[in-house]
A = this chain, B = another copy of it.
Amino acid sequence: MPHSIDLNSDLGESFGRWTLGEDEALLELVTSANVACGFHAGDPSVMRRTCRTAADRNVAVGAQVGYRDLAGFGRRFIDVQAGELRDEVLYQVAALDGFARAAGVRVRYVKPHGALYNAVVSLEAQARAVVEAVRDYDAELAVLGLPGSVFLAIADQSGVPTFREAFADRAYTGEGRLVSRREPGAVLRDPDEIATRCLRMVCDGEIVAADGSVLQVRPDSICVHGDTPGAVAGARAVREVLGARGVSFQPFTPR
């Protein structure tokens, strides 16, 4: 059983007049913030504010990169050609790093969002495009992704540091993929269930899939969501239950 674990959450997903998520509360609980970069969510002022608060609280800043799709919140697969996707990802990472630098820190890792996250699990061209963008921007930048994904495999082959995550509140298929949000039961809501699930992930290295099978995991980070009702309660429960077992919380990215 590990002495420490990272908690990551999608943050900075407000846009203009529209607010989303309980960023203030979650930035007290997580150790890594996946900050949206303006293509599917987030705007420059939200990015600045989120980086600033993360930096003040020693929360590591990661780039939550996505498809160029505000209307769809990055949740719709887009068949972007690899070269364009690489450039769109580099653009997002660099833009966010501007706000990280202004807050005295740096972007430390990249995590694809939504439909792009799912695409790079298996789609080689898009996975490679994201990895190339990461390498082009900064050779020390890490990536965070799904264990067993093509994305992490390509990153690893390319010399990019890779970190694996497990989801506190998402249902898994028997193959270790996420159940689509379009399916019922895809998102767990009960804080106790979420905490118990995380305990088993971290202590036993196991997740029970939707079909009842048991998946083996060794996560570097646990993803708690920020935009679902009860997100804060879920994250708090995870910290309490794991903390009671002596697990501490710190960013997976070294510095």
Query: Chain B contacts of A83 at CB under 8 A?
Result: 45
A150 at interface by CB-CB < 8 Å: no
Alpha-carbon distance A20/B44, docked complex (angstroms): 20
Chain A, interface size category, equals: 35 or more
* Candidates B72, B81, B91; contact of A38 at CB < 8 Å: B91
A88 at interface by CB-CB < 8 Å: yes
* Candidates B19, B80, B93; contact of A76 at CB < 8 Å: B80
On A, residues with C-beta under 8 Å from B are 13-20, 38, 41, 43-45, 47-48, 68-73, 75-81, 83-84, 87-88, 90-99, 101-102, 115, 136-137, 182, 227
- CB pair A137–B101 under 8 Å, yes or no, is yes
Given contacts A15-B18, A76-B78, A182-B81, contact A44 B88 (CB under 8 A): yes
Alpha-carbon distance A78/B78, docked complex (angstroms): 5
Given contacts A44-B87, A45-B83, A70-B16, contact A98 B93 (CB under 8 A): yes
* 18 extra A-B contacts, CB within 8 A, seeds A79-B115, A94-B99: A15-B70, A16-B72, A17-B20, A38-B91, A44-B88, A48-B90, A70-B70, A76-B80, A77-B79, A78-B78, A91-B95, A91-B99, A94-B94, A94-B96, A94-B98, A95-B95, A97-B98, A102-B137
